[in-house]
Structure formats: structure tokens, C-alpha cells
Structure 1
Amino acid sequence: MLTNLDPTALTRMTTTADLAVLIIDGKSVRGSRTRDHQAVHLLAAMTPTAHVAAQIRVADKTSEIPALADVLDGLDIEGSVISADALHTQTDTAQHLVSERKAHYVLTVKRNQPTLFDQVKALPWAKAPALLTETRRAHGRVERRTVKVLTAPRIAFPHTAQALRVHRWVKELATGRVRRTYTYVITSLPAERADTARLAGLVRGHWRIEALHHVRDVSFGEDASRVRTGHGPQNMAMLRNLVIPLLAELGHTSIPEAVRWVSYEAFSRPLGLLGLA
């Protein structure tokens, strides 16, 4: 049945009404690859709580870049904040979101846009105060994030109102090894709409959604799934996306433990999660 079910209809059944922040997230379903066809690649618009607002299949031999407009088509995103990774840091995308859809963007800047990256990296970060520092100790390491923000940066990218730099300092407790990385982000949100704390929260939200790839692969075996025909890969991914926030809303902090909990009453608990029992 799932191979024939229209994915658009399934998405409408599971979508959320809260579109204030949408994170664009792409993922290939590696197990769907065959000798004659490449793996199905999906692009989703998700909330920070992992609810799926829309999901589409990216056409073969194309990329996520033009598909961003397609996945947002049909959603009322006026005033929404759209967060996307560096692949989508494109002038056409920024113009589409701000000028045409009346939304705001939060975009990561990496070396795939070398001129823009050099401009953002060269901003006077040394003179900017460290407005937010967070320290976290978990998983055998200590991580410290320091956030700096510059308003009205002079860079050649449309509608940019602020630039943000996240310095991540990570120490592995077992080995003492220290890693330092810098992440650069630009946004069309003005300072009065997004202070440092909010911008840092938007960046963290994007990282959390990207971390769900591991959950989908390890706890739900997405890449190992042999569902290949019709709409099966897309619909199965949609159902996995549906389950993750439902389990979180029930208070489960460990997805593997939550999956085991459901399996103890495999016929009744899934229906209860969906409000059908």
C-alpha cells in the first residue's frame, strides 16, 4: 500500500500548523539504490521539534538547490524563518525567500561560496564582544560554544542584516584531545527581531535536526531498508519522521529505549501514539 500511496497526501495528514521556524533538511535513503537507479534523495521542511511540514523527492540528476522552493511551495511562510545548510546559501534562494515569499533566512556560510566565505571570515570579529558562551559536558567530552554577532555586515549577499560566528571548543575527556572549529552564519533577521540568544538557538535547532540522520539510520534502519519501489522509500521516511517527535512528546529522551518500549506491546502502543486507541 505504501508504494502506491501519494506522498503528498500522507504529508498533509501528518503536517504541523506551526511554521514559525522551518529547517530544510536533505537525506538520501541509501538502501533504495538499485543497479539502474540512484538512491532516493528526500528534502524536508521540518520544525525544530522534528515535525515535518513538507517533504518531496528530489528529482534524479538534479540537486537540492532548486528543490528548496518546491518543498516550501504550498506552505504559508510569510514571516517564517527558513534555516538551511551551506548548499542553499545562494543569492537566488535568498531573493526567493525574502523578496517573493516574505520570509527570513538563516544560512550557513562555507567554502562552497569562496568569495562570500572570505568576506564573512574577514569581518572584524576580534572587535565584537562574545555575547553568549555555553558550556556542556556530555558523552565523554566538554564542549564550549562562544557566539559573536555583527549587525549590518558589509558583504555581497542580498538582504543580510546580521552575521554570526560560533566558536566550538571541544575536549575529549579520555584523551585530552582538543578540537576548535568556527561556523559562520548569515541571516536576514534584523537585530530587533533576533538577538544573539535567538540566533544561537536557531543554529542549535538546525544542528539537532541534522543529528536525527543518525537516529533514523541506527534506530530505524533507514539506510538498511530494502524498500525500493514506487513511493515506498519516501513514505517510509515520512512515517519515521512522524514517530520521532511523537516519542519525544511522550517524554522519551532515548529513541532506542523508546522503540523497545513500543515493541513490548507492538499492536496497541503504536495505535496509542497516533491517537487511534
Structure 2
Amino acid sequence: MAVDGKALRGTRHGSDTGRARHVLTAITARTMALLAQAEVDGKSNEITVFCPLLRPLDLTDAVITVDALHTQREHATFLVEEKNAHYILVVKNQPSLYRQLKGLLWRQVSIAHREDHHGHDRSECRQLKVLASPPGWPSRTPPKPSPSSESPGPATRRRTYREDASLIRTGNGPAVMAALRTIAIGILKLHGWTNIAKANRHNAHQAQRCLTTLGIT
């Protein structure tokens, strides 16, 4: 499961402060089905919303991926001890933790999983190795390595649905529309579509196709 935040940039035009509204969402990584969403108060940040967002969900044995902002010891403890989950954190804003991890014996550990990606004029090689977590960071027995759980949800909403250009800027409208876009992407993914823009064009030709996709006849 991926937890990711997104600033709804178009809403800054309807704000007295000029600050965009911000939402934090939890979605399944492969199908992008929306599990939870919360709006981030303009006076706080995503960190304070993380635990309340996930607390109602059953995360037993789930693998939670987040960006560097949520590489927090408190979040790791919450996921492992309260939710019985696993986590994948990006370590780039925690210098001490980064040094601890860099000092581990990575060269002596075999590769547990490897993926090669080609696209957008670049090639990527991702390798997964497993070692015990550094002192002070809770962990559980790692799950079986699986394909990448990186989620393109916010990027798809931005590019395909032109979310940042939305004119819905006031009240609960921006957060509701962000949720509806994510739900639409999840439904199309569950029906086997990998290219959301192509799926939208396909359904736009005949409105009946949308009803069929939703199981409405």
C-alpha cells in the first residue's frame, strides 16, 4: 500500500492565503484503489495526519511505502507495533540513519529481488537486499520480496485528469474531486487497463461503456 501526499495546486487561486489545499491518500499499489484520504490542515503537515489516516485500516502483514517526509521513528513504531505491518521508507532526510544504513555489510548480502525498468528515455535497475534494521527502528520478519510497489497515483491524476488546472477550489470540493479521480483510476485498473488516458478515450466514445464498467446494466 502506498501513502502519498499531493498539493492540489489549482486551489491556491481560491485561497485567501495563496496556499494550495493538500490531501494525504492511502491506495493499493497495484490497482490504485482508494483506501483512505484526509485533508491536511494548512497549519500542520502530513506527518500529523499519517497515523489517524491509517489507524482505522486493517494493515496486518501489509507493506506500506511512503516518501522521505514520513521516515519517522514514530511512524515505523506505529506500523509495526500497532498495525502489525511492514514498511519501506526512503532515507534521505535522516543523516544519522543514513550513515547507519550505509555502514551495513551490503556487499556481503545476496540480491533477493531485482527489477529492470525502461521508459521515459531512461533505464532503471532496482535491487532488493534484506538486513536487520538499525538499533532503535522496529521491524518484523520481512515478507517475501515482491515487484515494486511504487504508486503513480498522484502523477496520473495530475497528467491525465489535469488536476492542477481544476476550477473546483472551495469548500470540500477539491478533496472530493481528488478522491473521485483516484477511485476512477482504481476501477479502471481493476478492469485491466494499464493506460488510464487510453481507457478514458475508450469510454468517452460510448457512455454505455462506463455503466458496464461499473456493473450497471
TM-score, scaled relative to structure 2: 0.88
Aligned partners of 1:141 and 1:148: how far apart in 2?
23
Contact kept? 1:105, 1:189, Cα under 8 Å: no
Which segments of 5 or more consecutive residues in structure 2 lack a partner in the other structure? Answer: none
Tell me by how many angstroms 1:255 deviates: 1.5
| Higher relative contact order (CA closer than 8 Å, sequence separation 6+) | 2
CA offsets per residue over residues 43-63 of structure 1, 9 Å max, x none? Answer: 111112201111010111211
Aligned partner of 1:81 in structure 2 is: 63
Matched, 1:255 2:196: yes
Deviation at 1:139, TM superposition (A): 4.4
Within 5 Å, which residues of 2 pair with 1:147-186?
147-150=128-131, 152-153=132-133, 155-159=134-138
CA contact (8 A) 1:116 1:156 kept: no
The structure 2 residue matched to 1:117, chosen from 74, 86, 98, is: 98
CA change 1:104–1:135 in 2 (3 A) is closer
Aligned length: 214
Change in 2 beyond 3 A, CA 1:82/1:143: closer
**Which secondary structure does the structure 2 equivalent of 1:109 belong to?**
coil
Contact map agreement 2:39 2:175 (CA 8 A) in 1: yes
Distance 2:42 2:122 in 1: 40
Q: Could you state the TM-score of these two structures normalised by the residue count of structure 1?
A: 0.70
In 2: Cα distance, 1:138 partner to 1:84 partner: 23
Higher strand fraction (1 or 2)? 1
Partner of 1:92: 74
Q: 1:60 to 1:137 in 2, by over 3 A?
A: closer
For residues 255 and 230 of structure 1, the distance between their equivalents in structure 2, rounded to whole angstroms, comes to 28
Residue equivalent to 1:240 = 181
Structure 1: gaps of 5 or more residues: 1-21, 160-187
Are 1:126 and 2:66 an aligned pair?
no
In 2: Cα distance, 1:88 partner to 1:237 partner: 21
Tell me by how many angstroms 1:82 deviates.
2.4
State the Cα RMSD in Å: 2.0
Corresponding residue for 2:24? 43
The aligned amino acid for 1:245 is G
Partner of 1:222: 163
